[in-house]
Amino acid sequence: MVLAEISALEVLANTLKVLVAFGAIMALIPQLIWIERKVAAWIQHRAGPNKVGLPRWKILGPLAGFHLWGLLQPLADVVKLLFKEDFVPRRADKILFFLAPALVFVPIALAFAVIPFGWGSWFGQGEGAFFVKYQIFDISAGVLFAFAVSSVAVHGLTLAGWSSYNKYSQMGAVRASAQLISYEAAMFMAVLAVVMQAGTLRLDEIVLAQTQHGWGILTQPVAFVVFLVCAFAETNRAPFDFPEAEPELIAGYHLEYGSMKFGLFFLGEYFGMVVQCSLLTTLFLGGWTLPGIPAKPDNFWMSLTGPIIFSAKVFLLLLLFIQVRWTLPRFRFDQLMSLGWKRLIPIALANLVFTALLGVALSR
Amino acid sequence: MAAATFQELLSNTMFQYFLVFVFTAFGVVFVILNVDVLGKLLFRPVMPDPLKLTTYECGEPTIGSSWVQFDIRFYTVALIFIVFDVEVVFLFPWAAVFAKLGAPAFTKVMIFVGVLAVGFINAWKKGDLDWVTSIAAHDLAAQKDARLARARQRALETEERRAA
Amino acid sequence: MLLEATEAAHSATQAVLGLPRGPYFKMAEEIGGHTLGYFMPELIVCFTLCLMLLVDVSDKLRSPRNLLSLAFVGMLAPLLLILGKWGTALFIYPDWGNLAQAAHFFKDHGYVEVAGASMLAFDGFANFFKIFALASGLITLAMLHYDRSLPRKSFGEMLTLVLGSVLGMMLLASSTNLLMAYLSIELMSLASFVLVAFKRSDRKGTEGALKYMLFGAVSSGVMIYGISLLYGMAGTLDIALMGQRLRDVNDPLAIGLALLMVTVGFGYKMSIAPAHFWAPDAYEGAPTPVTAFLSVASKAAGFAGFIRFMDAMAFQSTGNALPIINWVSFVAVLGALTMTIGNLTALWQRNAKRMLAYSSIAHAGYLLIGVAAVAVGGELGGDSGRAIADMGASATAFYMIAYCIMNFGAFAVVMAVAHETGSEEMSAFDGLAKRNMGLAVMMTILLLSLVGIPPTFGFLGKMNLFIAGLEAAQAGYPIMAVLLVVAAVNTAISCYYYFRFLRAMFIAPGEPALVSRPLIVSNTGWLLVGGSALLTVGLFLWGSLFTAPTDEATMLRRTPAPAAAEAQDASKGHAGHGH
């Protein structure tokens, strides 16, 4: 495949793939928020959102005014955010204040783009046939790219807190950056063990390697646990929601934000959750594959099983995330730090050395 | 791979990075659309008020600068993190091919990790990883413990007296 | 020994170019096993450093005595090892076969040429400066042991930093690659920044360390800009190869600017004139042992790096000097400027340490006479040129030994006085002769040596420098004569402030209450002060003891040009031919 040989159709198909994947995520995140609120309500014996539903238009017949279990609540929230007045505090740094939400959102989206959600399929016949991977882009150092890009988001949080010119925001930002970097180190080391086992930095090859010698959760259970805990911390969710601890910091780094700028932080947080769950699925749960279903399907319709299986796994993990958030109370900050540095990093390091030792011993 | 595949590899990589570019552009456009353009099209209200533009600190008037000093320990954490981050960056390429390189590379990497572990142990034992390092805090905790112990002792004694 | 190593390396290089990966690695390992022995001194220091970090956190093992003995062994063992390797030289070849292949690959695809080149040279020059660094490290240990004002609790950290700094100096003396040189400078600088600020509650120390660090950051930034420019023009970081290739680059302004920028980086370490501003504050604020260490070892390492760099940039054995910078005038002007500024500023100082700091700047100026002679010799080329350059390098090394002994001694006296009086001001020396005649006499000897007055080693050192300078001047470089006149005038000026010590010790009445009390010096103190004073006098008689070692330091001049390696293209590294 030389660059000149890539047809316009192929470029179009790939661009379309980008649009579809991005659109699907953007459409699903509001529903995720609804699910989170419903689960929270269920755990706390409340009703949760149950009012916003279909309008009372006669044209809808019997469905007019149906509450739809509050399913349209997130839509209403988004519309509300869009119609809110957008102002910047007088003493804030105008440019950075605008840049920060973008810096939170775009890197997370980029990290998602290297995750394979299926094998791919051939399109067209004969000479013009081309293969479209079910992965927004496929680069050789996928693992490295995903983690490198997603760690850029910490700058967004820090800049948000700093540019707001607010004591609480600044505290939240400092805490956020300390927390994110503390858990990043352990997370990377957990991933290293997986990479060593698969012998590649491509995420799709890591998935395929798992079809051969078992899912990562079985072969690397320690790394899985470390990664999972770190994923909670990286998404700033309870029990690690220090950056926005309401009782102490009001809302942390996005205290001064309103309207759609706040919306982007909100969106970024949930998108981050989706990305972490996708990474967990890819690295430890066999990605788009299931035993019994071909990992590399040969026709278009079979190739659609990949995205379905992948979404199901991600969805289950998301439920786990939500459940953990509403079950565990928040740590103290010193506990957070000692968990990260004194427990997870030594464990991950030991796991890394053990994996390497085993690998060298077995290859002999 | 044969030598000719280099061109292929290069162009495929270029194509993938072209997609990276498209996707990033898409993300940036999405952000701008949401934050700025869409709002203006939807007649986002503009009702300026000087009070709206003040810093929000739960209704209290703000005192002093907002660039408050924060704890030196945050810097310590950042410094130790840099060490680990760099370590991981060095280990990634090795991890991808470690099975092929075998024992010689393994020993070298273990020496590297060992040197880092020495630093980590040193930092740990010196208390750089402890969040509560202030002597005052330790003293307070010790005082509290002593007070508790005394109270417990007193309670025990009264109980014994009562029993007697 | 050297010839064998060279042969083996040659055949390995040949093998790399033709053979696939399997057999090559075997060859590399053979050579690797061979060369690792040369690197052993550095490895030992490195290992001791790691061990020190562990011992320091063990509650059972961390006593100052244990830590000191560990550091002592960790520096003495490499010193003996290097002495064992005396008279040998080795230039390490790349042992990354893939790099050679990669170089071809990238070249075929139109990229900049990637040259796998040597990083370190283990020649007589490196050996001399490594021993120098280790020896001054050992003396510093004794001084640290003697200094009672230091926080004993963080002794381990301090020793670790000294070891790290010494490691940086050793590597700098060996570096034949600009990046390696840069990293070594960074290693030793970072350690010394912390050392200067070691008394955390001391305001002067913190101020000095901050100035030192800011200055260091700026000058190493400038240096790395210079290095990147040179790399862009030459396509290699290997200094010998760079010196050759730069001759084909027709851009005098860019090359001159880049060379100047790199010189700034070295100049900062040598504390020569326009880059000396950090020195007085850092020296005054630092704990005295650290001051002595910085003013001797750190400076010597800077000179080692600079001489190697200048030598490679300007002079190859082919004799074609790089015509961009007139190194002789450049170094001579720097030297004159440095000694004049150092001496004139020292005149006004009231603080003993600050005065010695300016005096150490002035001494850097004297040392530049030798460096200028090296430049003259290189520019002349041929046998006569080599003779002059050898004289210059040898005189520089010789004077450095003298300077090491007398400077450590002088700082030890300052420390002894400061222990009793709690002050490092000149006034603390008032009436010292009445309090402790022995100490005053020792100090007098050391001061005479610092001025360069006959019955001392300092005189021999200065005489050697002047002889080398005179030879260079006679070879048709009048600027050297001017430099020597300036140096002579400066020596006369320096008498004034050195003799202020004498006046204070022997003539000034001093405070009656203090003078009546004798000044007690501990055994370690006597060992340091007395040892250096006796050496200063004794070596005046037997100074020839050091002729052979300092001649060894001139082995640098015998490094052949990388012509052979150039022909072999991809795996560059300059081939050493034994002498």
User: In this predicted model, what pLDDT tens digit does every residue of A265-303 receive, in sequence order?
Assistant: 888 888 899 999 999 999 999 888 888 888 888 888 888
The confidence band for B66, taking pLDDT boundaries of 50, 70 and 90, is confident
- What's the CA gap between C312 and C314, in Å, rounded? 6
Stretch C345-362: mean pLDDT = 90
The predicted structure's pLDDT at residue C25: 29
Question: Tokens 């700098």 sit at which residue?
Answer: C172
Neighbours of B48 (CB within 10 A): 8
- What's the CA gap between C267 and B94, in Å, rounded? 39
The predicted structure's pLDDT at residue A278: 93
| DSSP state string for C447-495 | HHHHHT-SSSHHHHHHHHHHHHHHHHHHTT-HHHHHHHHHHHHHHHHHH
Check CB contact under 8 Å for C109 and B6.
yes
Percentage of chain B lying above the pLDDT 70 cut: 86
**C165, C298 in Cβ contact below 8 A?**
yes
Neighbours of B36 (CB within 10 A): 15
pLDDT of residue B133 exceeding 70, the answer is: no
Stretch C428-455: mean pLDDT = 89
| Angle of CA points C498, C504, C509, to nearest 5° | 170
Check CB contact under 8 Å for A192 and B95.
yes
Query: For residue C91, which phi and psi values (nearest 5 degrees)?
Result: -120, 120
In chain A, what is the straight-line distance between the N-terminal and C-terminal CA atoms, in Å? Answer: 38
Q: Please give the ipTM for the structure prediction.
A: 0.78
- What's the CA gap between B20 and B111, in Å, rounded? 37
The confidence band for B150, taking pLDDT boundaries of 50, 70 and 90, is confident
The confidence band for C172, taking pLDDT boundaries of 50, 70 and 90, is very high
Residues of A in contact with B37 (CB under 8 A): none
Structure tokens at C275: 């880059």
The predicted structure's pLDDT at residue C324: 58
Strands (E), chain A: 121-123, 130-132
The confidence band for C556, taking pLDDT boundaries of 50, 70 and 90, is low
Look up residue C155 and give its amino acid.
Answer: F
Coil vs helix vs strand at A131: strand
Chains B and C touch (3+ CB pairs under 8 A): yes
Q: Is B127 left (phi over 0), alpha (psi -120 to 50) or beta?
A: left
Cα separations in angstroms, C363 against B33, C69, C299, C300, C486: 67, 32, 10, 11, 13
Q: Which is it for the CA torsion C281, C283, C287, C293, positive or negative?
A: positive
Query: For residue C196, which phi and psi values (nearest 5 degrees)?
Result: -65, -35
**C123, C559 in Cβ contact below 8 A?**
yes
| DSSP state string for A206-236 | HHHHHHHH--HHHH-HHHHHHHHHHHHHHTT
Residue among C25, C166, C182, C187 nearest C119 (CA):
C182
Considering only A112-126, A142-156, C442-456, which range has the smallest mean pLDDT?
A112-126
The confidence band for C181, taking pLDDT boundaries of 50, 70 and 90, is very high
pLDDT of residue C567 exceeding 70, the answer is: no
Interface subset of B 7-66, CB within 8 angstroms of A: 7-8, 11-17, 19-20, 22-24, 26-28, 30-31, 34-35, 38-39, 42, 44-48, 50, 52-58, 62, 66
Burial class (CB in 10 A: 0-12, 13-18, 19+), A69: middle
Q: What is the least distance, in Å, from the CA of B117 to any CA of chain C?
A: 10
The confidence band for C569, taking pLDDT boundaries of 50, 70 and 90, is very low
- What's the CA gap between B23 and A152, in Å, rounded? 16
Neighbours of C513 (CB within 10 A): 7
Residues from B in contact with C at Cβ < 8 Å: 6, 115, 118-119, 121-122, 125-126
Upstream peptide bond of C512 is cis (omega within 30 degrees of 0): no
Considering only A55-64, C74-83, C552-561, which range has the smallest mean pLDDT?
C552-561
**C348, C412 in Cβ contact below 8 A?**
no
Higher-confidence position of C362 and C22: C362
The predicted structure's pLDDT at residue C297: 93
Cα separations in angstroms, A31 against A71, A284, B27, C501: 7, 25, 20, 84
pLDDT of residue C576 exceeding 90, the answer is: no
Question: Tokens 């994110």 sit at which residue?
Answer: A180
- What's the CA gap between C136 and A210, in Å, rounded? 58
The predicted structure's pLDDT at residue C365: 94
pLDDT of residue B62 exceeding 70, the answer is: yes
pLDDT of residue C248 exceeding 80, the answer is: no
- What's the CA gap between C168 and C159, in Å, rounded? 14
Q: What is the least distance, in Å, from the CA of B74 to any CA of chain A?
A: 6
The confidence band for C24, taking pLDDT boundaries of 50, 70 and 90, is very low
**A209, B96 in Cβ contact below 8 A?**
no
What is the total count of domains within chain B?
Answer: 1
Check CB contact under 8 Å for A353 and B110.
yes
**A181, B84 in Cβ contact below 8 A?**
no
- What's the CA gap between B145 and B151, in Å, rounded? 10
| Angle of CA points A101, A189, A215, to nearest 5° | 100
SS3 content of chain A, % helix, strand, coil (to 5): 70, 0, 30
- What's the CA gap between A168 and A162, in Å, rounded? 10
pLDDT of residue C30 exceeding 60, the answer is: no
Query: For residue C116, which phi and psi values (nearest 5 degrees)?
Result: -80, 120
Residue among C410, C366, C400 nearest C502 (CA):
C410
Per-residue pLDDT tens digits for A23-41 = 888 888 888 888 888 888 9
Cα separations in angstroms, A37 against A80, A233, C376: 18, 20, 82
Coil vs helix vs strand at C425: strand
pLDDT of residue C484 exceeding 80, the answer is: yes
Closest Cβ opposite residue B31 in set A138, A166, A264 = A264
Considering only A2-11, A199-208, C237-246, C431-440, which range has the smallest mean pLDDT?
A2-11
The answer to whether residue B67 sits within a structural domain is no
**C365, C274 in Cβ contact below 8 A?**
no
Coil vs helix vs strand at C530: helix
pLDDT of residue C282 exceeding 50, the answer is: yes
- What's the CA gap between C163 and A187, in Å, rounded? 34
Q: Is C20 left (phi over 0), alpha (psi -120 to 50) or beta?
A: beta
H or E element, residue B111: helix B103-125
* Cα A217 off chain centre by: 19
Query: For residue C175, which phi and psi values (nearest 5 degrees)?
Result: -60, 125
Coil vs helix vs strand at B71: coil
The confidence band for C183, taking pLDDT boundaries of 50, 70 and 90, is very high
The confidence band for C314, taking pLDDT boundaries of 50, 70 and 90, is low
Per-residue pLDDT tens digits for C490-532 = 999 999 989 888 888 888 887 777 777 788 888 888 888 899 9
The confidence band for C563, taking pLDDT boundaries of 50, 70 and 90, is very low
- Indicate the pairing of strand A130-132 with strand C90-91: unpaired
The predicted structure's pLDDT at residue C16: 38
Look up residue A258 and give its amino acid.
Answer: G
Query: For residue B62, which phi and psi values (nearest 5 degrees)?
Result: -75, 145
pLDDT of residue C488 exceeding 90, the answer is: yes
The predicted structure's pLDDT at residue C88: 58
The confidence band for C293, taking pLDDT boundaries of 50, 70 and 90, is very high
CB pairs under 8 A between A and B: 211
Look up residue C174 and give its amino acid.
Answer: S
- What's the CA gap between A133 and C543, in Å, rounded? 79
**C371, C307 in Cβ contact below 8 A?**
yes
Among B8, B121, B122, most C C-beta atoms within 10 A, so best to mutate, is: B122
H or E element, residue C191: helix C178-196
Per-residue pLDDT tens digits for C379-431 = 777 778 778 888 888 889 889 999 999 999 999 999 888 888 878 888 888 88
The predicted structure's pLDDT at residue C28: 35
- Indicate the pairing of strand C121-122 with strand C90-91: antiparallel
Interchain contact B75–A (C-beta under 8 A): no
Report field, pTM of the whole predicted structure over 0.95: no
Report, in angstroms and rounded to the nearest whole number, the Rg of chain C calculated over CA atoms. 24
The predicted structure's pLDDT at residue C470: 92
Question: What does the domain layout of chain A look like in residue ranges?
Answer: 86-124+138-363
The answer to whether residue B131 sits within a structural domain is no
The confidence band for C77, taking pLDDT boundaries of 50, 70 and 90, is very high
Higher-confidence position of C115 and A234: A234
The answer to whether residue B22 sits within a structural domain is yes
Q: What is the mean pLDDT of chain C?
A: 79
* Cα C495 off chain centre by: 26
**A229, A169 in Cβ contact below 8 A?**
no
| Angle of CA points C272, C278, C283, to nearest 5° | 100
Interface subset of A 97-126, CB within 8 angstroms of B: 98, 101-102, 105-106, 109-110, 113
Higher-confidence position of C91 and A137: A137
Neighbours of B43 (CB within 10 A): 8
Residues from C in contact with B at Cβ < 8 Å: 50, 53-54, 56-57, 109
Residue among C369, C344, C375 nearest C276 (CA):
C344
pLDDT of residue B28 exceeding 50, the answer is: yes
DSSP C298: I
Q: By residue range, what is the domain housing residue B15?
A: 11-46
Check CB contact under 8 Å for B8 and A2.
yes
Check CB contact under 8 Å for B118 and C109.
no
The confidence band for A246, taking pLDDT boundaries of 50, 70 and 90, is low
Percentage of chain C lying above the pLDDT 90 cut: 35
Stretch C163-180: mean pLDDT = 91
Residues of A in contact with B88 (CB under 8 A): 185, 188-189, 192
**A117, A135 in Cβ contact below 8 A?**
yes
pLDDT of residue C72 exceeding 90, the answer is: yes
Higher-confidence position of B21 and C459: C459
H or E element, residue C122: strand C121-122
